[in-house]
Amino acid sequence: MTDVAEQVTTSSRAVRLEVAAVIEETADARSLVFTVPADRRADFAYTPGQFLTLRIPSEETGSVARCYSLASSPFTDELLKVTVKRTRDGYASNWLCDHISAGDTLEVLPPAGVFTAKDFDDDLLLFAAGSGITPVMSILKSALSQGSRKVVLLYGNRDEKSVIFAAELRELAAAHGDRLTVIHLLESVQGLPTVPQLAALAAAYADHRVFLCGPGPFMDSVHAATASAGFTRDRVHAEVFTSLSGDPFADVELPDVDADAGDAASVTVNLDGQEHEFPWPRTATLVDVLLSKGINVPFSCREGECGSCAATLTTGEVDMDNSAVLDEEDIAGGIILACQARPRSETVSVEF
């Protein structure tokens, strides 16, 4: 076993996971399959569509952190799997594809993210392009395992050779022929998909709930297409990734928020089945307040870039400095980022 991150300091929140297998998906994409220590399995329980944050060694900066979606399903796969596609001049993706072998270990933060299916009670229309298939694949497999509704996948790629999970998708389509429809959109055959083409395809599934992930231009086209086809915004869920500018693996000093307690709201927090009540200073974020109370709140980047600290605002109002990883439907549904939230109202209630 090789510790590929031994030259950097271990974060108290990170866990070293062993790579059980490396799968060559395409010429430029590899899947890393992780085992989780028995005493940390509860920490790595995840919802379909979430991601892991990996720490990659770097000679220049010590390490870099990157988020990779889980392509495995918690209902069908015993081990965790993320898929990494090389990007031009992308240090982390190329390092992982070139250097990781079975038996190596990497530092990993527990699963996070809000691009998830809350249930599988609806027929699903899934859009993916390139490596955007990874969280969509997790949702797809989970829906087939846990639900009884129909699933349609529209998957765009350059050509047939660049289709990630091609064999697995064939097997799933054969096993669930009455429920799963897979439509491949290949640039080499059909050209780049246009908004009218996508709208025509989507219109046949107007009663489905939509999940989409892929490059920005593709996602913009799908948003325009589904709107044109009559889908309401609350039925379209998009994954939004932003580059992490800080180091989510760095240990965090406990903040001192007592000095600001003079002007405070009253907050009730439900976390891990326990209810906590305390003053929430208006100048402090909810993550900072919880950490100052010694409460083990989920968080990662603390910059509003990853969604690890997402929670639901049940009563009251908050302000957020950065909420770019949340889409309009998330915010309308009361989702907040605890690392960005500061109280606006006198009383606030939050559930994690």
pLDDT averages per 10-residue partition of the chain, 352 residues? 48 87 98 97 95 91 91 98 94 96 96 90 98 98 97 98 98 97 97 96 97 96 97 91 75 66 88 92 93 87 86 96 85 93 96 94
- Please tell me the distance from the alpha carbon of residue 290 to that of residue 297, in angstroms, as a whole number: 7
The pLDDT of residue 246 is 72
Question: What residues does each domain of the chain span?
Answer: 2-112, 124-238, 258-351
The pLDDT of residue 5 is 46
Supply the DSSP string of 101-133, one letter for each residue.
-TTEEEEEEEEE-S---S-S-S-EEEEEEGGGH
Radius of gyration, alpha carbons of the chain: 21
- Please tell me the distance from the alpha carbon of residue 127 to that of residue 219, in angstroms, as a whole number: 9
Q: What is the CATH number of domain 124-238?
A: 3.40.50.80
The pLDDT of residue 248 is 84
The pLDDT of residue 243 is 67
The pLDDT of residue 333 is 87
Specify the pTM: 0.85
Supply the DSSP string of 74-85, one letter for each residue.
TTT-SSEEEEEE
Task: Name every residue whose Cβ is closer than 8 Å to that of residue 78 and which is 6 or more positions away in sequence.
Answer: none
Tokens found for residue 12: 């108290």
Query: What are 322-327's contacts with CB under 8 Å, separation 24+?
Result: 324/240, 324/242, 325/114, 325/240, 325/241, 325/242, 326/114, 326/240, 327/237, 327/238, 327/240
Q: Are 70 and 138 a contacting pair, CB within 8 Å? A: yes
The pLDDT of residue 330 is 85
Cα 234 to the center of its chain, rounded Å: 19
State how beta strands 151-157 and 180-186 pair.
parallel
Q: What are phi and psi of 347, to 5 degrees?
A: -130, 145
Q: Which CATH architecture has domain 2-112?
A: Beta Barrel (2.40)
The pLDDT of residue 3 is 59
The pLDDT of residue 104 is 98
CATH superfamily for 258-351 is Beta-grasp domain (3.10.20.30)
With CA atoms as reference, report the closest residue to 248 among 50, 41, 55.
Answer: 55
The pLDDT of residue 215 is 94
Supply the DSSP string of 297-340, one letter for each residue.
---SSSSSSS-TTEEEEEES-EEES--TTS-HHHHHTTEEETTT
Helices (H), 177-278: 187-190, 195-203, 216-228
Supply the DSSP string of 144-170, one letter for each residue.
HHH--S-EEEEEEESSGGG-TTHHHHH
